[in-house]
Structure 1
Amino acid sequence: MKPETRKAGRPPQDASHRLARAHRVLDTAADLVLRWGYDKTTVEDIARRAGVAKGTIYLHWKTREELFAALLRRERVEMMTEVRRRIGDGPATLRDLLRLLASELLGRPLMRASILGDSEVLGRLTRQKRDGAAGTELGGDFQTYLGTLRRHGALRDDLSPAEHVTVLISVLYGFLIVSPMMPAGYRPPDERLAELIADAGGSAMEPAGPAPADVTGAVTLATLEYVDAAVEAAQRKLRVSLGFEEFKEFEKNEENEENAR
């Protein structure tokens, strides 16, 4: 019997090849946008440097904006995955989380440009997403996390939930924005800056005095649950941006068709 050929327009059946190609394109896009900036980086540039046809890129993403959205989503996955690795199994306080988040942000130029709305790097891509963007890198579960800490007495109860978020975002953005403006001799290394961010945020949000042992355990559990949820959410969004959910649906349909024959 003559083997059936794949219908035109369907995704390739080799998922690993498709995924590897997508990541190669994103690697190239990251290199070029950090070198030239988003506004000067074209799909043609990316295709040529990645060694693929321009049309191949459009098989993965319909627009340049979608491509760079996938790039930033991948950066977030890598950032949160590394935060989770560095936390380990705890103990993990709010200060630990802030220090690791700040450390990873400082070490990732694309994430730093995204959170600060750096138009020199990300151009009009940041201008399009700037309104209401403050704090989005923390994820939608962050307020739930802070609420859990508050219930366990691990946050000041004289501040409202909204005020806790305001304090935290102000500390994070304040340090990230001001540090590059300081004279060279006053700029701390990135790891020290991350410690200063964590100390300032913790001092402003946590009650005075050491926490009881049972509270420390509850805070560690809440911190790990938040980071795990953030990693999962970031991975889910990235899979959509890479077209992987579409590919899995295609494979499922192919399997159903095969079983029906």
Structure 2
Amino acid sequence: MAQQNGGESRRLQTRMKREARAQHILDAALNLILRNGYDKTTIEDIAREAGVGKGTLYLHWTTRETLFSDLILREKIAMAEDIRQRLGSDPEGATLHSLLKHAALALLQRPLLKAVLLQDTVVFGKFIQREQNSAISTQVLTGFTNYLETLREQGLVRSDLTPHLLTSLFGSIFLGFFLAQPLLPDAMALSKEKLAELIAETGQRTLEPSDPAPSGALHIASQALTQYLDHSVGKAQEQLQVGAQAKSEEDQLLIHRPIRARGRKGGRSKLLKTTEQVAQARHLYADKTRSIQEICTVLGISRATFYRYLRETQKDEA
């Protein structure tokens, strides 16, 4: 029993160390992408900034795209948690104008997500297009539309506007202020707090009715908002866990992979056996940001094996 407990303790420590290292690498990636932009940030740059080898970085992410996707997911989770805490201490936290205010304040603390929201191609290049159209972004938008429908049913927003128009106006108000700020003269610059207050006031005057809120409406709206935020966080965490689980399973396959036999009939066995491995090889080769040696390191194969696979694939496609 003691030996079993000791093994579990070591595995826990290994997982904690691995997670801490992953967060450190993500922090390094965050600094670089905000400084240089996505297109100019390479795997080598991130490894150097984090003080780790490229091989160590590849233990966590096999492509630059998956690393940045996880970085964005991490920031989304942190922002949702921040909004939830801010709303929890606000008596009117479930109202639309309160959500606008606290969402603005939370976003202003996260320049990476601000760049995502504003589709800043200087920071993200072409990567931003995939992020805006991702499945999780679509799911979050659907959840937010459902929350607005609850507000509409409870008389907390204008009933003459459809949920689609409410969502469109909400986004226009929120995005409009952020897009306008860089275009205004310095003399018209606003503090973060004042900007958030103006966004909230505009939302209140535009979207909310002038009559007092019905009794019990805020409680129902609060439940709907909590459900929406929980769902958003849950989806992001689920996607992160799926990626981590897939990487863990891949590591186990590499650890337990049998040594290639020499001198047997038919020569060495091919290592790219499954469709998943073939797909990964194609993706890495098409990425164009890695050398052949780096690709071989990720796949755990020799250069000769990779070139043989490449020739065979090109013959099949021809």
Q: TM-score, normalised by structure 2?
A: 0.68
Matched with 2:272 is: none
Cα 1:115/1:58, change in 2 over 3 Å: same
Cα 1:248/1:65, change in 2 over 3 Å: closer
> Which is further off, 114-123 or 51-60?
51-60
Q: Deviations over 1:128-165 (max 9, x none)?
A: 445699x7595431111111111111121111111111
Q: Which runs of 5+ in 1 are unaligned?
A: 4-10, 252-261
1:240 to 236, 239, 242: 242
User: After superposition, where does 1:1-261 map in structure 2 within 5 Å?
Assistant: 14-88=14-88, 90-91=90-91, 92=93, 93-130=95-132, 139-241=141-243, 243-244=244-245, 247=248
2-structure distance, mates of 1:199, 1:97: 11
Asked if 1 retains the 8 angstrom alpha-carbon contact of 2:155 and 2:214, the reply is no
C-alpha deviation, 1:110, in angstroms: 0.1
Q: Deviations over 1:91-111 (max 9, x none)?
A: 322211111111111221100
Helix, strand or coil: the match of 2:17? helix
C-alpha deviation, 1:249, in angstroms: 11
Q: Which has the larger radius of gyration?
A: 2
Q: Larger RCO: Structure 1 or Structure 2 (Cα < 8 Å, ≥ 6 residues apart)? A: 1
1-structure distance, mates of 2:66, 2:152: 38
Cα 1:146/1:245, change in 2 over 3 Å: farther
Q: Which runs of 5+ in 2 are unaligned?
A: 4-10, 253-318
Asked if 2 retains the 8 angstrom alpha-carbon contact of 1:113 and 1:121, the reply is yes
After the TM superposition, which parts of structure 1 deviate over 3 Å for at least 4 consecutive aligned residues? 127-133, 135-140, 244-251
1-structure distance, mates of 2:149, 2:220: 12
Asked if 2 retains the 8 angstrom alpha-carbon contact of 1:171 and 1:201, the reply is yes
> Which is further off, 105-114 or 11-20?
11-20
C-alpha deviation, 1:171, in angstroms: 0.8
Asked if 2 retains the 8 angstrom alpha-carbon contact of 1:97 and 1:223, the reply is no
Asked if 2 retains the 8 angstrom alpha-carbon contact of 1:90 and 1:220, the reply is no
- Amino acid in structure 2 at the alignment position of 1:178: A
**Number of residue equivalences:** 240
Cα 1:14/1:29, change in 2 over 3 Å: same
- Amino acid in structure 1 at the alignment position of 2:180: V
Helix, strand or coil: the match of 1:211? coil
1-structure distance, mates of 2:222, 2:161: 22
1-structure distance, mates of 2:106, 2:74: 14
| Percent of residue pairs identical | 42
> Which is further off, 212-221 or 188-197?
212-221
C-alpha deviation, 1:228, in angstroms: 2.5
C-alpha deviation, 1:125, in angstroms: 1.4
Q: Deviations over 1:7-54 (max 9, x none)?
A: xxxx99821111111111100000111111111111001112212221
Asked if 1 retains the 8 angstrom alpha-carbon contact of 2:60 and 2:247, the reply is no
- Amino acid in structure 2 at the alignment position of 1:202: Q
2-structure distance, mates of 1:83, 1:13: 31
